[in-house]
Chains A and B, each alone.
Chain A
Amino acid sequence: MLGLSVLADSGLEHYRGSFRNPAMVFPLLSSSMAIGFNGRRLEKPLSDEKTGPLVSHLTSAATGVVGLGFHLYNVMKRPGGLTFTNLFYAAPAGAPFALALAGALGSTADRLARGKDTLGPIHLTSGRAIGLLTSFGLIGTVAEATLLHFRGAYHDPFMWLPVALPPVTAASLARDVVDDQPRQITTSLLAATAAMGLIGVGFHAYGVARNMGGWKNWRQNLLVGPPTPAPPAFTGLAIAGLGALMLMKKRRKARG
């Protein structure tokens, strides 16, 4: 889900930038690859294919980190450097981060499916590692939504929702992880966050309609209006969070 959101969003945005830098196709390739492998994993969770997915996840993560560098460079080279206008309109610093995250979550899922319960030094079966990663991811995504909705001057009160809800969700999830105790409220919050991500597409579509010419002028307005593929990033992360909670519960049961 996160992979899809990244693919569509970066596809749209890098198309807007006319792929001026050849490196701008990388996130498209790597997020497609991630979707491919992660999707197949859904069908055949226990396949023993190893290298393909591993390469994919590593590429995702690496592309994300390198992308972060590129985007930061793009911000800094503009007049004024680290100013609001550059953060608003230059390459978004937070976006590649989502790809890195997709990579990390993907490889975690992989290891789990293969019955391995550690990723390096980190214990996975507890669900706590994934939970923590998801919390961080939510906060990062919130940061980006906050910045870009500030760019839109919160002209619609609903624009506060993705700024207000996910931090609460992230905090609740983090608390469960730390206490190693999954709570019902966290599940509800995660579900709400997942739903919000989907509803967000509708709001962004409405935002596109409010540009000159509305959807009739979709070829332009999809690019200048609010990005329709972006909000489901929240859904992807929330689902990962729900997975983490499930693992935590399962383990608690096993422990009795």
Chain B
Amino acid sequence: MAIDPEQTPRAKNGRAPDVMTPGGWVSMREYPENEEVDFVIVGTGAGGGTLACKLAEAGFSVVAFDAGPYFRPLEDFASDETEQNKLYWTDDRIVDGDHPIKMGSNNSGKAVGGSTVHFAMVSLRFRPEHFKTRTALGYGVDWPIDWQDMWNYYDEAERALHISGPVSYPWGPKRGRYPLRAHPLNAAAEYLARGAEALGIKWTETPLATLSAPIGQSAPCVYRGFCVTGCSTNAKQSVLVAWLPRALKAGAEIRDLAMVGRIETRNRRCTGVHYQREGEWHFQKARNVVVAGYAVETPRLLLNSANEEFPDGLANSSGLVGKNLMVQLNQAAWGQVDDEIRSYKGPPSLAISEHWNYDDDKDFHGGWSYMSQGPLPITWAKSLAGGRNLWGQALIDEMARNNHSVGLKMVGEVLPYERNRVTLADDTDQYGLKIPRITFSLGPNEEAMIDHATDFMDKSLEAVGARERWKEMDDTCHLGGTARMGFDAKTSVVDADCRSWDIPNLWVCDGSVFPTVGGVNPSLTIQAIACRTGDRIKQMSARGEL
């Protein structure tokens, strides 16, 4: 009988699942626990999975842990929203603050490959000025990395993911040609395009991490639109499909269903990690530890690892671990049109306008972009129930008109505030670890941006004849910022190379290192940072600086 990947680890006994063939395996190198590996990486998502590949290809011994299962999309993913809940991190968490964040499907994954297994594939570069918001635009904080440096690593990430994008991108400095051509627009995307043209701003086809031509064993996208519940064709270039097969080939070991609970230190250096797998605690020795659990689990692990040497948690001499939590604003405008839209066809965000990331004539700080939308039925029902208080027969009636609904959704920059933070609660989870408390409130700047964006998107829909328009005001996405990178040990947790200021063999490489989040989706930037970190570690190792 086939083993249940959610109950029993698959990556064992010298082999790991081959994501490209149903029931298939690829060979995997394994390291004994008492062997001190060069790198232990906690988390195999956008940050951790990419770095695992880079470090293994650079010749380091790598063991990457993930608390989630190792899926084979071709056989394990159903075209069913409820079944695919298995991809989300739904462990106990406490949320509070004035605007408690809804955790789960919209912001965190628990699977080998991380949240990219069910992400929406939108793959954008930051506006260059967004790396230097303090000096260039007068708000937030500067990144310690230069945009030109990032431009090269964006190139690398885009090539690795075979991003399909427009032949020329209308905003920002020149970038190389996207590896693959853009996908055709669906009707929802055409409505964005016509609206933008009516309002006199630019739009373009969204650069997406899904194939528009066959590459290797991956078939091109079939436009069925189940992307945010996990793509069952492998057209989507998630970390699971794009980076991890390379990592395995280069000799990395991946341990699935392995939850890291504590990082051990001695003489102010990491010595390895304690992790739970198959109901038992183990210890893996390591020369370096990289934490890549995303913006909630990363600070949680650092705080949960407090010991006598580091009573406030690891890497926390600045007191900033867990602070400056940012989400991105994800409000939307919707309407009804005569045309049949069927917006769920194809990837959800085929067209985009970044106009308001590049136009600074606004009475608030920060940028935002907006994209066409394609919600699946249950998600749509939740939007209607939550956003319009529809219930019972009224909800059913409205659902029946779904084929004529069209919408636009923003991705907006939230500023870093220390009061928005991740701390530890006293309750414990199924592993016996303290659960995170996530405190979040919007500020007046965010409220102003939401008003600006929802009004503009509403105008765009009005301009193309949408009626019965309404605004979905309560939604957030994408986390960042709880272990920020910066210029010194007082004002940041890690340096530009993602290396902690306090513990030289402890690194953080995921969305939590973002000092600011900009007005675009973060995963390409996370992967570009991981590529950069991989190169930097290789250089430092060659110079004996590790």
Does A155 contact B205, Cβ atoms closer than 8 Å? no
Does A212 contact B213, Cβ atoms closer than 8 Å? no
CB distance from A138 to the nearest CB of B (A): 24
Chain B residues with CB below 8 A from A212, complex form: 219-220, 222, 233, 235
Would you list which residues of chain B between 196 and 225 have a CB under 8 Å from chain A?
Answer: 197, 203, 205, 212-215, 219-220, 222
CB distance from B275 to the nearest CB of A (A): 37
Tell me which of B182, B214, B219 contacts A85 (CB under 8 A). Answer: B182
Bound-complex Cα distance A193 to B163 (A):
33
A153-B166 CB under 8 A given contacts A79-B185, A210-B219: no
Specify the chain B residue showing the minimal Cβ separation from A88: B181
Does A79 contact B193, Cβ atoms closer than 8 Å? yes
Residue A89 at the chain B interface, CB threshold 8 Å: yes
Q: Which of B184, B197, B233 has the most CB of A within 10 A?
A: B184
Chain B residues with CB below 8 A from A150, complex form: 181
How many of A's residues come within 8 Å of B, CB to CB?
19
Chain A residues with CB below 8 A from B219, complex form: 210-213
Main secondary structure of the interface of B (DSSP, over half): loop
Residue B128 at the chain A interface, CB threshold 8 Å: no
Q: Which of B166, B179, B182, B214 has the most CB of A within 10 A?
A: B214
Chain B residues with CB below 8 A from A211, complex form: 214, 219-220, 222
A152-B213 CB under 8 A given contacts A78-B190, A211-B220: yes
Chain B residues with CB below 8 A from A88, complex form: 181-182, 184
Does A153 contact B179, Cβ atoms closer than 8 Å? yes
Count of A-B contacts judged by CB separation below 8 Å: 59
Q: Which of A78, A89, A152, A153 has the most CB of B within 10 A?
A: A153
Would you list which residues of chain B between 172 and 195 have a CB under 8 Å from chain A?
Answer: 179-182, 184-185, 190, 193-194
Does B235 contact A85, Cβ atoms closer than 8 Å? no
Residues 99-127 of A, flagged 1 when their CB comes within 8 A of B and 0 if not, give 00000000000000000000000000000
Specify the chain A residue showing the minimal Cβ separation from B181: A151
Does B214 contact A89, Cβ atoms closer than 8 Å? no
Residue B425 at the chain A interface, CB threshold 8 Å: no
Does B194 contact A79, Cβ atoms closer than 8 Å? yes
A85-B222 CB under 8 A given contacts A152-B181, A155-B213, A155-B214: no
CB distance from A218 to the nearest CB of B (A): 14
CB distance from B215 to the nearest CB of A (A): 6
Chain B residues with CB below 8 A from A19, complex form: none
Chain A residues with CB below 8 A from B167, complex form: 84
Residues 71-104 of A, flagged 1 when their CB comes within 8 A of B and 0 if not, give 0000000111000110011000000000000000
- Can you list 15 A-B contacts (CB < 8 A)? A84-B181, A84-B182, A85-B182, A85-B184, A89-B185, A150-B181, A151-B181, A151-B213, A153-B180, A210-B219, A211-B219, A211-B222, A212-B222, A213-B219, A224-B222
Assuming A84-B181, A153-B181, what are 7 further A-B pairs, CB within 8 angstroms? A80-B197, A84-B166, A85-B185, A89-B185, A152-B181, A212-B235, A224-B222
Q: What is the interface of chain A, defined by CB distance below 8 A to chain B? A: 78-80, 84-85, 88-89, 150-153, 155, 207, 210-213, 220, 224
Q: What is the interface of chain B, defined by CB distance below 8 A to chain A? A: 164, 166-167, 179-182, 184-185, 190, 193-194, 197, 203, 205, 212-215, 219-220, 222, 233, 235
